[in-house]
Chain A
Amino acid sequence: MDTALQHRSVTEPTAAPAPWGRVRRSRHLADRALKIICTLFTILGAFVLGWILLMLLIEGIGGLSPAVFTETTPGPGSQGGGIANAIVGSLILTFLGIVVATPVGVLAGTYLAEYGKTSKLAEVIRFVNDILLAAPSILIGLFVYMLMVQPMGGYSGWAGGVALAIIAVPVIVRTTEDMLRLVPGSLREAGAALGAPMSTVIIKISWKAARAGMVTGVLLATARIAGETAPLLFTALNNNFWFNPNLMGGVANLPVMIYQFALSPYENWRELAWAGALIITMSILALSVVARLLLRKDKVR
């Protein structure tokens, strides 16, 4: 570098400083290239992802009408109709999944953070949980098919709910554990010093202190399972009618409805698929935003 600097000062002693200052040109170029490429990549990413959302808005709003929310899915090739049964079915399945997953996930997270800590078993379960968190959801669908659909002799909303619960549990376990670990140990010690048993300390102190974070975890899990399609294909399936109140047989739901209708040759079905896609994406984004706001308000983090 020194020689380069001297060299330049010899050749152009009175010229104005080069735009790259006192830095050797190749270094300056590499630096500029990195900055420009990174900025371009970010813009490209934002552009593509913004394009997807824009397409969704345009196509989805075109398909929206009051009938969408009140009528059931139409038969092949017919006109009109809505997706009311799919919306209600999706709500029920997601609710089922979360109701099953929340106690299991919270308790398992509590075990990892409060009881197991660094024990071998806790380490193994933490590891397994991370694997499940990223496991392909279609495999979970296959598993529940073997576990519930085959023995029960047919597709059912219950199987769909269980499949969604299996996807939600790892999310809840992870956030619960992370949030409980942020609770200062002195709080627990204060409770223990008053003679409270371990369970009381956990319920009255740890859970209370980590409440907002745990609710966030449940909301994020809800957002995650609300749009899952693959596991529902083999468990809840779909149908074009109001489902049985006992949830046996196919239960209409938004993701599978979107999948079937979007790939169909009927214009009417495709429009309904777009409307459903808009509804589901907006609900999920709203859930994620609420979850994030909750977390930011909470001072634990």
Chain B
Amino acid sequence: MVALSQERLVSSTDAPVRRFSPPTFDRIFRFASLASALLVLIVLLGIIGSMIYGGWPAFSEFGLSFITSSVWNVNEDQYGAWVAIVGTLTTALIALVIGVPLSLGIAIFLTQLCPPWLKRPVATTIELLAAVPSIIYGMWGLFVFAPLFAKYVQIPVSNIVEGMPIIGTILYARTPSGVGILTAGIILAIMIIPFIASIARDILDQIPSVLRESAYGIGCTTWEVVRNVLVPQAGVSIIGAIMLGLGRALGETMAVTFVVGNANRLSGSLFDPGSTIASRIANEFNEAIGLQLNALMALGCILFLVTFTVLVLARLLVSRVKVG
């Protein structure tokens, strides 16, 4: 690397004298590379800019109440984002609560417990499943999972908890159709499992095996190695991996649109249909005109800000450990 940078330094001072052909191509190539790299930057700025530009009329019309109001009335041109924001956060939270233990379990299984011959097939399967389009998960959720979920979970649970305080509200399905906030959260969990598991596996693989071996050498059990060696070593970057999964869960559109129910009402029950920011944009955008379009753009702006924050945090957490 040092030699290379010296080479560049030398060639930049006395290169023109020695070259046979004029260095135009070299310069063009360098410029094209720089321009392409800058294009990546410009695209991100463009996304932010277009969201703010498109959403501005809605923000200025409703002010802060755009975020806090739960009215979404197309006929009266009254828009508020609260239901969609709550739906987005709730589904993503459910996805994390279910998905994180499962994916960490899979990562630990793959790196610590799995017999070597099984390692490659399981790891490959998980990585391939991350490539399955989200719309497939949505179809599975709507046509296979939701009917079973309604029949074997929603109806029995609703019957049991009916009339109970608090739980009777949270877990009571007025119309047990299978779709709803909880279903969306479960589908999201399934979608982020391959994602978090493969990153967590990479992180655990990077831990020097001498640390693990010395812990086993003094008689630690697998649990103690995981608890006292792996977690302290990889903890921060695993949180980063979880944040990456959260970023994905927040912005996931198609699968959620299939199973969330797309209702604009704030319900105390996890079994009731709701909507997320992304599902509302996907549902209404093509028919939207005027202020509704601006309101949807403003929703996109909020979604962008939330995911952007989460992704920046994730990136900072993951990279900090790589350096250290």
Chain A 108-144 per-residue mask, 1 if CB under 8 angstroms from chain B, else 0:
1011101110000110110111111011111110110
Q: Are A142 and B50 in contact (CB under 8 A)?
A: yes
Interface bits B280-324 vs A (CB < 8 Å: 1, else 0): 011001100000000001001001100110011011000000000
Hey, what's the 0/1 contact readout for A154-193 against B, CB within 8 Å counting as 1? 0000000000001001100100000000000100110010
**A227 near B300 (CB under 8 angstroms)?**
no
Q: Are the C-beta atoms of B251 and A30 separated by less than 8 Å?
A: no
Contact A103 B36 (CB under 8 A): yes
Q: Is B212 an interface residue (CB 8 A)?
A: no
B131 within 8 A of A: yes
A169 and B40 in contact (CB under 8 A), knowing A38-B105, A136-B303? yes
Q: Does A48 lie at the interface of the complex (its beta carbon under 8 Å from any beta carbon of B)?
A: yes
Residues on the B chain within 8 Å of A281, using CB: 132-133, 136
A233→B41 contact, CB < 8 A: no
* In-complex Cβ contact of B190 among A49, A258, A284 (8 A): A49
- Chain B residues positioned under 8 Å from A71 (CB to CB): none
Q: Quick check: B7 and A192 within 8 Å, CB to CB?
A: yes
| A-side contacts of B19, CB under 8 Å | 197
Of all chain A residues, which has the CB nearest B44? A128
- Cβ of A49 and Cβ of B194 under 8 Å apart? yes
Question: Contact check: which of A105, A135, A263, A274 meets B307 at CB < 8 Å?
Answer: A135
Q: Tell me the chain B residues, 223-258 only, with Cβ under 8 Å from chain A.
A: 223-224, 226, 244, 247-248, 250-254, 257-258
User: What residues on A are CB-neighbors of B153 within 8 Å?
Assistant: none
Asked whether A223 and B129 contact (CB < 8 A) given A41-B109, A143-B51, the answer is no
**Which chain B residues border A233 with CB–CB below 8 Å?**
282, 285-286
Name the CB-closest residue of B to A37.
B105
Within 8 A of B (CB), among A247-301: 255, 258-259, 262-263, 273-274, 277, 280-281, 284-285, 288-289, 292
Kindly list chain A residues whose C-beta atoms are within 8 Å of the C-beta of B251. Answer: 135-139
Interchain CB contact under 8 A, B105 and A41 = yes
In angstroms, how far is the closest chain B Cβ from the Cβ of A115? 6
Contacts of B36 in A (CB 8 A): 103-108, 111
Which stretch of B64-72, B138-146, B156-164, B167-175 is in the interface? B138-146
Closest to A291 in B: B131
A44 at the interface (CB under 8 A from B): yes
Known contacts A139-B300, A197-B19, A277-B135; decide if A38 and B109 are in contact (CB<8 Å): yes
Interface range, B side: 35 or more
Of the 9-residue stretches B74-82, B120-128, B265-273, which lies at the interface with chain A?
B120-128
In-complex Cβ contact of A115 among B34, B134, B143, B303 (8 A): B34
* Across-interface contacts of B127 in A (CB, < 8 A): 288, 292
Total residue contacts A-B, CB cutoff 8 A: 270
**CB contact between B139 and one of A23, A27, A237, A277 (< 8 Å): that residue:** A277
Partner of B3, one of A166, A189, A203, A234: A189
Measured CB to CB, the closest approach of chain B to A109, in angstroms, equals: 8
A289 touches B258 (CB 8 A): no
Contact B113 A38 (CB under 8 A): yes
In the complex, how many angstroms separate the beta carbon of B3 from the nearest chain A beta carbon?
Answer: 5
Verify if B210 is at the interface (C-beta below 8 Å from A). Answer: no
Chain A neighbourhood of B297, CB < 8 A? 142, 146
The answer to whether B136 and A56 have CB atoms under 8 Å apart is yes
Bound form: Cα–Cα A263–B141 in Å: 12
Q: B32 touching A185 by the CB < 8 A rule?
A: no
Contact for B54 among A51, A124, A142, A258, CB less than 8 A:
A142
Chain A residue numbers with a CB within 8 Å of B59 are none
- Taking a contact as CB atoms under 8 Å apart, the answer to whether B11 and A127 are in contact is no
Residues of B within 8 A of A129 (CB): 40
Known: A138-B253, A199-B29. Contact between A289 and B128, CB under 8 A? yes
Q: Given A33-B223, A49-B190, A138-B253, A192 and B37 touching (CB < 8 A)?
A: no
Q: How far is the CB of B252 from chain A (nearest CB, A)?
A: 7
| Nearest CB of B to A258, in Å | 6
6 A–B contacts, CB within 8 A, in A order: A31-B223, A55-B143, A108-B36, A142-B54, A227-B136, A281-B132
